[in-house]
Structure 1
Amino acid sequence: MAPYHIRKYQESDRKTVLALFSQGMAEHVPTTFLHTLKLPRTLVLLLGGPLALFLVSGSWFLALMASLTLLAALWFLAKYSWTLFPVVSLQTDLSDITKSYFSERGSCFWVVEAEGQVVGMLGALRIQEPTLGKGQWELLHLSVALEHRGQGIAKALVRTVLQFARDQGSSEVVLSTSILQPSALTLYQSMGFQKTHQYFFMSFRLMAVPFIRFIYQVPCAQVSQAPGQGGCF
């Protein structure tokens, strides 16, 4: 296992960070495609559509071409959905990482270096108008290069965010991930994150891929408090 260390993002990391993010999103395309194929409505479409075409036309060739066309359309839909994430992010917080995460106190972005290369990343963005006035931070863009997984890097990054949030006086850390990322779900739950609800991004609703919202209640940074005082503020 190659040694690694976590440090704050620098502008020289931008190209590698964006490539790592895009590669991570692309990895979800095959999983989403297979998930969609297993849906009952997809099976009905893939079997019933070509069969109906064969009964009408009497051509197996047309039926086969219809099946291939449907499969291609499903693959395109899966790919398109995950392509939207980098596009939207590049128009929002990742358009200028330094400005988004370092221009104001309370947000930060980290990268992981191993053998002189950036192999992981994670951001913590302060939520400007948190629900009920609570201090909330959102965990975003957790990604580790495929060849460096299984070394505890993702867990170390999440711990870095949780400690950062605690130091900043945050009461909660929130994040979202899809049900098609079992390793991420296991990681977050093992670290004390609790599920709050499921929801759909519009592009994923057609493929029945819900996202799960998690929340982590940050332990109070102060061990002892004056009588009558509660919370970390």
Structure 2
Amino acid sequence: MAEVQFRRYREEDHEEVKEVFTVGMSEHIPPSCMHVLKQPLAQMILGCVFCALLTSSKSILLPVLAVTLLLAAGRQAVSYMFTKYIQTCLDQDLSHIQQTYLDPPNACFWVAEIQGRVVGTVACLPAEKDGNFLELKRMSVKKSHRGQGIAKALCRMVADFTRERGYLGVMLHTSVVQIDAQKLYEHMGYQKVSEFNAPDVIAKLTNFTLIEYQFIIKHHHN
């Protein structure tokens, strides 16, 4: 297996970093669609539409068609929610990585590189919510390179950086559909502190919750 190198972000990594983030985020669309389908509200709407049309039209074709269209519309809505989020991130911090993560003293952006290609990213900056914490952001590892300990190593880099800077701990947000991410963070010692609905209207309707995790740094006193 090729050697993984971890280093600070450089300007020439920009396109690859954006690609790793965009592809990684897009992967959450199918599980998010499944999440929506499991919601009682979605099941009730589909069931009511199907039964109402079946009763009124006396044909199976129309209700099946209507439900299919509703499912397609639902997928479009979920895709739209993710596309909008991806675009917002690309327009905001991911267009200004140097200014956001490398110029300030208590922020940083790292990449994992294999044979000159960026295969993973992670960043951190002071948490807006609590000045004692750094917030872990932009954690993503290419699907082809998962299961090799890259995400764990990136997590440790953030923890070490947080310890060096004297912060109390690391906090982060992940979503209800990012099961692998939740497992990773819990394995790394993060504790779930709260769950709340994403601010988007579609998210509220579909019960798309975000989860906040915290990791308290153990400082070694001499």
TM-score (ref. length: structure 2):
0.93
4+ aligned runs moved over 4 Å, structure 1: none
Pair 1:210 & 2:209 matched: yes
Pair 1:141 & 2:138 matched: yes
Give the drift of 1:147: 0.5
Q: Distance in 2 between matches of 1:186 and 1:66?
A: 38
Give the drift of 1:194: 1.1
Residue 194 of structure 2 aligns to a residue whose secondary structure is strand
- Unpaired runs of 5+ residues, structure 1, are 225-233
State the AA in 2 paired with 1:217: I
Is the 1:101–1:109 Cα contact (8 Å) retained in structure 2? yes
Pair 1:174 & 2:171 matched: yes
Is the 1:5–1:114 Cα contact (8 Å) retained in structure 2? yes
Residue 104 of structure 1 aligns to a residue whose secondary structure is coil
Deviation readout 1:101-134 (Å, 9 max, x if unpaired): 111211000011012210000001123x553xx4
Q: Distance in 2 between matches of 1:60 and 1:35?
A: 27
Pair 1:155 & 2:152 matched: yes
Give the drift of 1:76: 0.9
Q: Distance in 2 between matches of 1:107 and 1:40?
A: 42
Q: Distance in 2 between matches of 1:12 and 1:43?
A: 47
Deviation readout 1:131-159 (Å, 9 max, x if unpaired): 3xx43210001000000000000000000
Residue 170 of structure 1 aligns to a residue whose secondary structure is coil
Q: Distance in 2 between matches of 1:130 and 1:42?
A: 33
Q: Which stretch of structure 1 is more off in the superposition, 176-185 or 142-151?
A: 176-185
Alignment of 1:74-113 (within 5 A): 74-113=74-113
Residue 202 of structure 1 aligns to a residue whose secondary structure is coil
Q: Which structure: larger Rg? A: 1
Alignment root-mean-square deviation, CA: 1.5
State the AA in 1 paired with 2:52: A
- Unpaired runs of 5+ residues, structure 2, are none
Is the 1:107–1:124 Cα contact (8 Å) retained in structure 2? yes
Q: Distance in 2 between matches of 1:38 and 1:126?
A: 36
Percentage identity across paired residues of the two chains? 36
Give the drift of 1:84: 2.4
Residue 123 of structure 2 aligns to a residue whose secondary structure is strand
State the AA in 1 paired with 2:133: Q
Residue 151 of structure 1 aligns to a residue whose secondary structure is coil
Give the drift of 1:174: 0.5
TM-score (ref. length: structure 1):
0.89
